[in-house]
Amino acid sequence: MGKEELSKLREQIDKLDKKILELISNRARIALEIGRLKSKDQLNFWDPKREKEIFEHLKSLNKGPLSHQAIFHIFHEIITATREIQHPTKVAFLGPEATFSHMAAIKHFGKTAIFYPLPSIKDVFWEVEKGSYDYGVVPVENSTEGIVAYTLDMFMQSELKVAGEIYLRINHFLAASFKEKEKIKKIYAHPQAVAQCRNWISYHMPNIPIFETSSTALAARKAKEDPEAAAITTKLAAEKADLFILERHLEDFAHNTTRFWIIGHRLPNPTGSDKTSLLFATPDRPGALYKCLKPFAERRVNLSKLESRPMKNLPWHYLFFVDLEGHYTDTPVKEALVELKEVSAYLKLLGSYPKALEEM
């Protein structure tokens, strides 16, 4: 009786799968028509406001048993896959493959986008600026290690804009070509991975020499080739190198997160849940910083980040990096920026973009 019941339930699943496939195909055909209209009107194929509306609508409709997060993942892949048939998206990232930058790019653009690893942050900026790729993905900030200064420096040379942000939880894994931890005689790791796993390493592997590599992916490849070595690497890199995962979550801080920026030529339209990033410098006189911040305080514009960094060409002079709530076209933000331009020595709008799309 149990086998008959199981067989009937599986038949129902097969029928539903057929119906789901038909509906997804119909959705894709409609998306193709939307893509044709966007192409005709020269509109951006990536519309974060529309995607946000879709996810919010699905969240309101979902009655279970699947969680909101599960529904988000399913429909995120459907949306990104249909966007790819509208217009294949070419995304450059700080390589090599299987690094955190690669994982962040996949998280945002889905697995169907076309990804290209490039050797440096400068290369990502240059190639996107030339039009070789639609977007670039570069790290800008880590919750424990701070700002990636080089990314900010590149904006001083580039006209590209920040078109979006991605937050990626940074999890480090100990992986090797064997299953016995006692066999480990050396460890390959990127310097940042070592810095973020100091406590775990000093407690569990205090006498094991560590050899630095240029990436977490290279650490995994070296561990694959060395029968006495392990790697501190990403889960994706371990899988690509066909390594066994010996330990998970080596990072000292459970909420270690890296923020990445999506860089491109266009600024997205406001979504109602946006962030603006900018750089400014103050004149060298008393009260200058106060005067630069006053326009935002008077209009109740929240500055979620204010950080100073030295100007390379002017010793003892500083640039201020700011994140604020809102889009540059919002009236309070727009007015504050006009006033800031009048009282600052330098001002550059890096971008206005939707806040990182939170999983439902």
Write down which residue in 33, 58, 86 finishes a domain. 86
Q: What b/e sequence results for 109-137 when a residue is b if at least 16 CB atoms lie within 10 Å of its CB, and e otherwise?
A: bbeebebbbbeebbbbbbbbbeeebbbbb
Is residue 195 included in any domain, yes or no? yes
**278 shares its domain with 342:** yes
In a domain, 36, yes or no: yes
Q: Which residues are catalytic?
A: 258, 260
- 279 occurs within a structural domain: yes
Residue 359 lies in a domain: no
Residue 360 falls inside a structural domain: no
Rounded CA-CA distance 222/188 in Å is 7
Q: Does 96 lie in the same domain as 77?
A: no
Strands (DSSP E) contained in 47-97 are: 90-94
User: What angle, rounded to 10 degrees, do the helices at 331-343 and 288-298 form?
Assistant: 170
Q: Does residue 71 fall inside a structural domain? A: yes
* In a shared domain, residues 165 and 209: no
158 with 193, same domain?
Answer: no
- 163 with 182, same domain: the answer is no
CATH code (residue 74):
1.20.59.10
Domain that holds residue 110: 90-170+256-263
Q: CB-side exposure of 84: number of CA atoms within 13 Å?
A: 16
Cα separation, 217 vs 17, in Å, equals 37
Q: Is residue 204 in some structural domain?
A: yes
User: What's the pTM?
Assistant: 0.83
Task: State the CATH number of the domain containing residue 218.
Answer: 3.40.190.10
Q: What radius of gyration, in Å, describes the C-alpha atoms of the chain?
A: 24
Q: From CA 33, how far away is CA 217, in angstroms rounded?
A: 40
Say if residue 96 is preceded by a cis peptide, omega within 30 of 0. yes
In terms of domains, do 273 and 350 share one? yes
- Taking only the tens of pLDDT, the chain with its 360 residues reads 578 888 899 999 999 999 999 999 999 999 888 888 888 777 777 788 888 889 889 999 999 899 998 998 899 889 888 888 888 889 999 988 888 999 999 999 988 889 999 999 999 999 999 999 999 999 999 887 788 888 998 998 899 999 999 999 989 999 999 999 999 999 999 998 998 899 999 999 999 999 999 889 999 999 999 999 999 999 999 999 999 999 999 999 888 899 999 999 999 999 999 999 999 999 888 899 999 999 999 999 999 999 988 777 666 578 899 999 999 999 999 999 999 999 999 999 999 999 986 543
Residue 183 DSSP symbol: G
pLDDT of residue 90: 94
Query: Both 104 and 79 in a single domain?
Result: no
Report d(CA 319, CA 279) in Å as an integer: 7
Is 127 contained in some domain? yes
Residues 77 and 94 in one domain: no
Q: How many domains does the chain have?
A: 4
Residue 4 has what pLDDT? 85
CATH of residue 328's domain is 3.30.70.260
**Same domain, residue pair 48 and 121:** no
Domain boundary among 247, 278, 301: 247
pLDDT for position 315: 63
Q: Which of these three, 52, 86, 120, is where a domain ends?
A: 86
Q: Are residues 197 and 184 in the same domain?
A: yes
